[in-house]
Amino acid sequence: MSDDAGTWVEFADAPKQRAFLRLMRTVLPIMVLVGTASAFFSKSGESPFQTWGLITVPIWFVGWSTAAAITWNVVLRLSRPFAVDVVGKRLRIRGKVLAFEQVDSAELLPLSRDDASGLLLRFGQKKGRKASVLLRDRAEPVLDDERRQLLLAVIRGSRIARPVSPHDPTGAFGRYNFPGTLDREGAEQVVLQPPAPGEHAP
């Protein structure tokens, strides 16, 4: 949806939000339960429960519930939609505006422990803000044509390159030295055709 400036288009990543919500519904309750249960255990000496008694359980529960809420809010903040101005060749990530040519980093990340759960493309500045896009939810590609074209505009105007090792100054072995990272051509390729689960990145 375009904002008031006219040329900015918000990249609303509903598939990523749904995938994160599904993941957090599993992770956060486990975090609270395991964290609360830790009141009964100790690596050395008495456990907190043995030391302070029943009052430990609600205190631990509230503490870990608060930690879970903070975690969820951090996830929401970091996954806020970014915006693209194709005409002005600009990208806006959490309030900061970058020219397309300032984008110099891209990498593939699994949604959870492995890429079978889903695949994210994270891009931005090596030493600055980054945005992420869900390319695939489980085995299903999720980009529609409009969002794909916005991403391609950013990538084609960028200076995305793999990091270079001092021991490999030409970057010939960059994909092995820095797994998951992409060059500009690779980033364009995964947007057009996301790798299937278990398939190597370009």
Domain interval for residue 19? 14-78
Whole-number pLDDT of residue 100:
98
State whether 128 and 179 are in the same domain.
Answer: yes
Which is more confidently placed, 108 or 200? 108
User: Does 175 have pLDDT greater than 60?
Assistant: yes
CA distance 16 to 18: 5
pTM of the predicted model as reported, rounded to 2 decimal places:
0.74
Which is more confidently placed, 96 or 3? 96
Please state the rounded mean pLDDT for residues 118-142: 93
Of the residues 49, 78, 107, the one at which a domain ends: 78
CA distance 178 to 164: 9
CA distance 11 to 113: 26
State whether 46 and 122 are in the same domain.
Answer: no
Written as one string, the DSSP assignment of 29-92 is HHHHHHHHHGGG--SSS--HHHHHGGGHHHHHHHHHHHHHHHHHHHHHHHT--EEEETTTTEEE
Please state the rounded mean pLDDT for residues 143-169: 93
CA distance 103 to 135: 19
State whether 126 and 177 are in the same domain.
Answer: yes
CA distance 99 to 93: 11
Q: How far is CA 127 from CA 95, 124, 186, in A?
A: 16, 9, 20
40-83 pLDDT, tens digit per residue, is 998 888 899 899 999 999 999 999 999 989 988 887 776 778 99
State whether 96 and 176 are in the same domain.
Answer: yes
Question: How many helices (H) does the chain have, and how many strands (E)?
Answer: 6, 8
Quote the tokens at residue 67: 């930690």
Whole-number pLDDT of residue 115:
79
Number of domains in the chain: 2
What band does 170 get if pLDDT is binned at 50, 70 and 90? Answer: confident
DSSP symbol at 40 = G
State whether 138 and 183 are in the same domain.
Answer: yes
User: Does 188 have pLDDT greater than 50?
Assistant: yes
Please state the rounded mean pLDDT for residues 80-100: 93
State whether 86 and 141 are in the same domain.
Answer: yes
State whether 42 and 107 are in the same domain.
Answer: no
Contact 103, 158 (CB under 8 A): yes
Selection from 6, 177, 197, 164 nearest residue 87 by Cα: 6
Of the residues 78, 106, 134, the one at which a domain ends: 78
What band does 20 get if pLDDT is binned at 50, 70 and 90? Answer: confident
Of the residues 78, 101, 126, the one at which a domain ends: 78
State whether 91 and 187 are in the same domain.
Answer: yes
**Pairing relationship of beta strands 90-93 and 8-11 according to DSSP bridges:** unpaired
Does 3 reside within a domain? no
What band does 3 get if pLDDT is binned at 50, 70 and 90? Answer: very low
Quote the tokens at residue 99: 């020219």
